[in-house]
Structure 1
Amino acid sequence: MTFARPDPLSALGTPSRIPSWASSVRAETFEDVAFFSGAALSHLHFVLEREEVPRALLRDRLALRAAEACVAFSGRPERAAELRDAIHLLRPGDLPGPAGETCLEWRRAAERPLSVKALARALPGIEPGQIAIWLDAGRGAPVTRAAMVLEAVQSDAPRAPALVLADAALAQALGWAHVVPLLAAGLKRADLRKQGDDLRLACHRALLTSAVEALRLAADLTRRAAHLEAVTPKLRAKAAGAAVEMLLTRDAVAPAALPLPDRAARRLCDRLVDLGAVRELTGRDTFRLYGV
């Protein structure tokens, strides 16, 4: 007797939907907000353990959202489209600019397994010893630890590294192998001026919002990744498998980055768009970027 392989969409459907009482009820007290954010993080933890979830792709897309928030906090105008261009269309010797560098910091922090060494590589200019000291500043429950690290770093470092390290502290406390960018996209600029219990409350609120959005994104990317894997056997290019693997792990890919000659890479991307497996992200006729 043979059994059909479970549909990853239906398998992911239930845990990806946070209970309505945790996402629709307006929490007023600190205890309620902390309870609801814990429920959202618990659901996200469960989803991140699922093999069918394209976790590297999810982290990379969340990193883009975090970078967009941090760039906005600094008063710069760049948004997701400009950030993608800044990092994916760089030529050898070009500099990404301040906004692009923020985006690169988030991507580097999320792509490697979490460690002080990896964070130092992601945040050039900050000594590993200083990173270790900041991460040790957090004590208590996961969100409390993240808030304490955020408060400690902000007095000495720019906001983007502070939020990267706060998410790193959260991941450490939750036992996650990688940084999952969550806090920046949920916080407001005014929240970054808060301290103590006020900052902890803001972090709980931010994580409730961001975790729910991350769950929705995980479900969407899982569906899209499953479709991309399903159409891969239809591709004739010799390096199509390697190209698909890149698309399954990165928010966006330029054809020139694929392990194919330029014309073959562009044809492959157009073929995948025709198959509904990837999207062209820029809306341009040239200098295009593609993503799941």
Structure 2
Amino acid sequence: MDSLPLKAGPEASPVALVPEWATRPGASPSEADAAFGAGAALAVLDGIVRSQPEWSGVWQARLALAAAQETLTFFRRQQSAEALRDALLLTPPQGDPGPDGHVLRAWQALSERRAAIATPLLRDLAADFGIRFDGILLDIPALLDDLEQAAGSPLHSAAVLLETIARDRPDAEPLGLWLADWMIARRLRWPRPLPLIMTQRSGPPFRTAGGRGRCKPAEPGYRAALCAAVALAAADACRRAAELSRRAAQLQDVSRKVRTKGAAKVIRLLLERDAVLATAPGTGLSRWAAGRLFERLESLGAVRELSGRNSFRIYGL
């Protein structure tokens, strides 16, 4: 089936990267030094977030996937990116994706949340993370409102939030980090929040001397560690953005060679989502036409097959 050629997108615009010095505050940095690096990193990331590139959807989704994997590590449940994708993509729309799928769904929801946080949402998030919704968690909406109005930097607000939750509910750390990312975005007036801090939870910033322990909220050095983690997370997000910008430009360039009816909808999905089923549901393409389209895009270097299977295949940038 033929249609009008898809409009070719522009070449990838250069995406700024965080300078290396911002992510290397040195051994045992002071809170001020770490905060300076985090501020520099967030300033670079801020430019990308505000530009709202056409591939921002897949970018946010890939960050959510990384955060979900780290969350499962917190819960002592290791899971691959492929298995997490399957948990959502191979589950019917009204079906239960299982505990791991719920965790991924929670992180995907972060980038959709621009409004204030209310109790019903918190209850749903707690359920997705598999934690009890009681105690200090009931007071979170009021605390968030106070922190949003308070003086101080976004990172200070995030630290206060995490320390408050950790005092009574250390098991709710994933929810706390979700809310901390939301708070940072809210204070910076970003159009959409990004999953950031959780992606660095097991990283160097939070490791104690010798690397055998982990610095926890309210402990000495935690706020400096939090700032260092934000700097690393922002740098990683910028690197991912640069790579996805190049891949999106390649996809748009290849789209000129594709004449399958309905291809434009598939291209849009690939720019908006982490992954798309080979059957391309919701695009109006038959299973055969969708499969042929993805094979064509893959042969032209525009997409990758992400599952490693010969059936129930999944594609993405």
TM-score, normalising length from structure 1?
A: 0.86
Judging changes above 3 Å, is the alpha-carbon distance between structure 1 residues 257 and 129 closer, same or farther for their aligned structure 2 residues? farther
Judging changes above 3 Å, is the alpha-carbon distance between structure 1 residues 150 and 223 closer, same or farther for their aligned structure 2 residues? same
Asked whether 1:275 is paired with 2:277, we answer: no
Deviates more, 1:19-28 or 1:238-247: 19-28
Judging changes above 3 Å, is the alpha-carbon distance between structure 1 residues 174 and 77 closer, same or farther for their aligned structure 2 residues? same
Unmatched 5+ residue regions in structure 2? 1-8, 128-132, 207-212
Judging changes above 3 Å, is the alpha-carbon distance between structure 1 residues 247 and 193 closer, same or farther for their aligned structure 2 residues? same
Letter in 1 for 2:162: L
Query: What is the CA RMSD across the aligned residues, in angstroms?
Result: 2.7
CA distance in 2, matches of 1:23, 1:192: 18
Structure 2 partner of 1:161: 175
Give deviations 1:206-257, integer Å, cap 9, x for gaps: 1111111111000000111111112223222221111110110111111234
Higher relative contact order, chain-length normalized (CA < 8 Å, sep 6+): 2
CA distance in 1, matches of 2:316, 2:59: 12
Unmatched 5+ residue regions in structure 1? none
Asked whether 1:132 is paired with 2:141, we answer: yes
- Contact 2:34–2:225 at 8 Å: present in 1 too? no
Asked whether 1:63 is paired with 2:64, we answer: yes
Structure 1 partner of 2:43: 42
TM-score, normalising length from structure 2?
A: 0.80
Post-superposition offset of 1:145: 1.0
Percentage of pairs with the same residue: 35
- Contact 1:182–1:207 at 8 Å: present in 2 too? yes
Post-superposition offset of 1:29: 2.0
Asked whether 1:8 is paired with 2:12, we answer: yes
CA distance in 1, matches of 2:162, 2:119: 19
Post-superposition offset of 1:268: 1.2
Letter in 2 for 1:145: S
Judging changes above 3 Å, is the alpha-carbon distance between structure 1 residues 213 and 203 closer, same or farther for their aligned structure 2 residues? same
Structure 1 partner of 2:75: 74
Deviates more, 1:19-28 or 1:66-75: 19-28
Count of residue pairs brought into register by the alignment = 284
Deviates more, 1:89-98 or 1:103-112: 89-98
Q: Which runs of 4+ in 1 moved over 6 A?
A: 126-129
Structure 2 partner of 1:170: 184
Give deviations 1:18-39, integer Å, cap 9, x for gaps: 2232234526222211111111
Q: What secondary structure sits across from 2:307 in the alignment?
A: coil
Letter in 2 for 1:193: K
Q: What secondary structure sits across from 1:177 in the alignment?
A: coil
Post-superposition offset of 1:110: 1.4
